[in-house]
């Protein structure tokens, strides 16, 4: 084993943990280009069957009304500037929006939405625009409402651990503020340096810490949101216990901006760990990955904070396309096992015991290393977090985010690799093993309709037949909305549609997303 003991890693490591994220998301600043050159195709060209809804056309009078609300400097009309709001980070969706509004307050958001609802102008809420299913960009000419200027941290209570912030606060910045009070955000994503808490809540983002801290549905205490009519819904409680009536905030969490625009949130933050350790293991079968996870749960117990797996094709992509180095030799799979606790001696003893056990078991890990300092810690995590970026270098990426029973997770990768043999550059699988979440990816030099036909709906059918979910954490957005019934019963979908009609009678809020076009 390359290292027998993890060095002391200060809590500040969790602030430095993702130095690669800024580089990974630097592409956000230049969305007009794609790996194959030029602009990505219009989304309407890829999905010609979707027709524009019966919405009004934007007029000069509308623009003047918006300028009166937010000020002329915060109404973006220039086509070149608007373009970056029309293209998603993966550069596979390009809308035709003509206007971007950047409100500063809840009152401004309310006034904008009230005007749009009255005029039947469709809108798209947008945070950091790091979504991966086309949910945060226009399809046709919807007006983009950006929350980027709503970026104030309102309060942190170091005793209760409750943080209250506006929707446009960047996740990494909130984590830094929480650290100053000995706390941490319960959510951790590769897009941490760009994504906003409002978008995280709207998509119910999962991420790397869900294994330890659970989902945002459990850690979000309260919300404020502007509904599609322009009314402000104030559920911004900071209480951990409030058993009065329906928990309406849960409708907004995971609604992907189709039921309203989240403007403020109260989040329960756990104490920041004093000891953080990271082991990186090489394994030669997926069964070995499963056995190692089982052992990790038993040996590391309450301090296990992340358990990620990476297959050889994903590792090959980060090495070939980004020039990153892997400290281990060639293996079929790799695992990142992270622990977070309050007692370094206790945690190191547990990790050492786990490593000794996993290395001595037949058919488990055959190689490994432990981060010795902050640089190694960050580098090992970058091998996992920069996979998406590395795959984009191939050209066009077909990305799928599914939940499956653990035994079936990698069978899907193997099945699709055989199905697409010779038609794609690579088929890669990685993800959050601790919550059964697979990120399945295929790449081609440029968009290929025939490849897409081989993938969809076949991959969704495969997941449905094993009672999985077609969206584990990315949401449905535009790309998966027609497949919601693969994971939800027909009556449940009809109830969702009724809720949508009740809250958004004119259908202006992020149309064409989440619910299928009936």
The distance of Cα 380 from the centroid of its chain, to the nearest Å, equals 20
Give the confidence band of 215 by pLDDT, cuts at 50, 70, 90. Answer: very high
CA neighbor of 101 nearest in space, from 132, 120, 122: 122
**Contact call for residues 102 and 60 (beta carbons, < 8 A):** no
The residues, any chain, with a CB within 8 Å of residue 54's CB and separated by 6 or more, are 120
Distance CA 186, CA 214 (A): 8
Per-residue model confidence as pLDDT tens digits over 369-397: 999 999 999 999 999 999 999 999 999 99
Give the confidence band of 37 by pLDDT, cuts at 50, 70, 90. Answer: low
Q: What are phi and psi of 348, to 5 degrees?
A: -65, -40
Give the confidence band of 518 by pLDDT, cuts at 50, 70, 90. Answer: low
**Residue range 453-478: mean pLDDT, rounded:** 94
Residue 1 has a pLDDT of: 39
Model confidence at 444: pLDDT above 50: yes
**What strand order describes the sheet that includes 437-444?**
367-370, 275-283, 333-341, 304-311, 426-432, 437-444, 396-403
| DSSP secondary structure letters along 236-293 | ----S---SS--THHHHTTSTTSS-EEEEEEEEPPBPPSEEEEEEEEESSHHHHHHHH
Q: pTM of whole model > 0.75? A: yes
3-state secondary structure of 281: strand
Per-residue model confidence as pLDDT tens digits over 141-193: 999 999 999 999 999 999 999 999 999 999 999 999 999 999 999 999 888 89
Per-residue model confidence as pLDDT tens digits over 309-365: 999 999 999 999 999 999 999 999 999 999 999 999 999 999 999 999 999 888 788
**Residue range 120-126: mean pLDDT, rounded:** 98
3-state secondary structure of 92: coil
Query: Virtual CA dihedral for 119, 120, 121, 126, nearest 10 degrees?
Result: 120
Q: What are phi and psi of 118, to 5 degrees?
A: -65, -40
**Contact call for residues 237 and 221 (beta carbons, < 8 A):** yes
Model confidence at 28: pLDDT above 50: no
Model confidence at 12: pLDDT above 70: no
Distance CA 302, CA 299 (A): 9
Q: How many residues does the chain have?
A: 518
Q: What is the mean pLDDT of the chain?
A: 91
**Residue range 464-476: mean pLDDT, rounded:** 93
Model confidence at 64: pLDDT above 50: yes
31 vs 474, which has greater pLDDT? 474
Model confidence at 16: pLDDT above 80: no
Residue 50 has a pLDDT of: 93
- The domains found in the chain, sorted by start residue, are 43-146 (3.30.43.10), 153-268 (3.30.465.10), 275-466 (3.30.70.2190)
């Amino acid at each position: 084993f390359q290292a027998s003991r993890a060095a002391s890693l200060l809590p500040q490591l969790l602030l430095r943990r993702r130095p690669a994220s800024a580089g990974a998301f630097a592409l956000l600043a230049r969305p007009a280009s794609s790996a194959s050159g030029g602009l990505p195709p219009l989304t309407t060209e890829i999905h010609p069957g979707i027709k524009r809804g019966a919405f009004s056309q934007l007029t000069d009078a509308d623009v003047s009304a918006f300028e009166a609300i937010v000020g002329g400097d915060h109404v973006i009309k220039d086509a070149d500037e608007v373009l970056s709001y029309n293209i998603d980070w993966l550069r596979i969706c390009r809308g035709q929006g003509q206007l971007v509004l950047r409100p500063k307050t809840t009152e401004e958001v309310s006034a904008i939405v009230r005007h749009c609802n009255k005029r039947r102008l469709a809108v798209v809420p947008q945070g950091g625009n790091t979504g991966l299913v086309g949910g945060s960009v226009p399809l046709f000419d919807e007006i983009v409402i950006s929350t980027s200027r709503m970026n104030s941290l309102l309060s942190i209570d170091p005793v209760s651990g409750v943080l209250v912030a506006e929707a446009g606060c960047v996740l990494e910045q909130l984590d830094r503020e929480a650290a100053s009070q000995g706390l941490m955000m319960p959510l951790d994503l590769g897009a941490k340096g760009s994504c906003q808490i409002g978008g995280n809540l709207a998509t119910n983002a999962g991420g790397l810490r869900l294994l330890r801290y659970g989902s945002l549905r459990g850690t979000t205490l309260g919300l404020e949101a502007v509904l599609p009519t322009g009314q402000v819904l104030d559920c911004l409680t900071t209480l951990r216990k409030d058993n009065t009536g329906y928990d309406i905030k849960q409708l907004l969490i995971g609604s992907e901006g189709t039921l309203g625009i989240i403007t403020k949130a109260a989040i329960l933050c756990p104490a920041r760990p004093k000891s953080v350790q990271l082991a990186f293991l090489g394994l030669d079968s997926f069964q070995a990955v499963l056995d190692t996870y089982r052992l990790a749960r038993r040996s590391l117990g309450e301090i296990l904070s992340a358990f990620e797996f990476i297959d050889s094709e994903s590792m090959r992509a980060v090495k070939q396309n980004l020039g990153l180095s892997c400290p281990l030799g060639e293996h079929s799979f790799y695992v990142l096992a992270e622990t977070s606790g309050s007692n370094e001696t206790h945690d190191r003893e547990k990790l050492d015991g786990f490593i000794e056990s996993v290395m001595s078991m037949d058919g488990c890990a055959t190689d490994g290393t432990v981060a010795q300092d902050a640089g190694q810690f960050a580098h090992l995590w970058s091998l996992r977090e920069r996979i998406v970026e590395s795959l984009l270098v191939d050209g066009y990426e077909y990305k799928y985010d599914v939940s499956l029973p653990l035994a079936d997770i990698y069978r899907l990768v193997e099945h699709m690799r055989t199905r697409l043999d010779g038609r794609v550059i690579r088929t890669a699988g990685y993800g959050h093993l601790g919550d059964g979440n697979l990120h399945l990816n295929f790449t081609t030099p440029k968009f290929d309709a025939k490849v897409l036909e081989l993938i969809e709906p076949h991959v969704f059918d495969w997941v449905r037949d094993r009672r999985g979910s077609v969206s584990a954490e990315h949401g449905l957005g535009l790309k998966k909305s027609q497949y919601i019934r693969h994971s939800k019963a027909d009556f449940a979908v009809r109830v969702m549609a009724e809720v949508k009609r009740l809250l958004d009678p004119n259908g202006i809020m992020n149309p064409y997303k989440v619910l299928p076009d009936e």
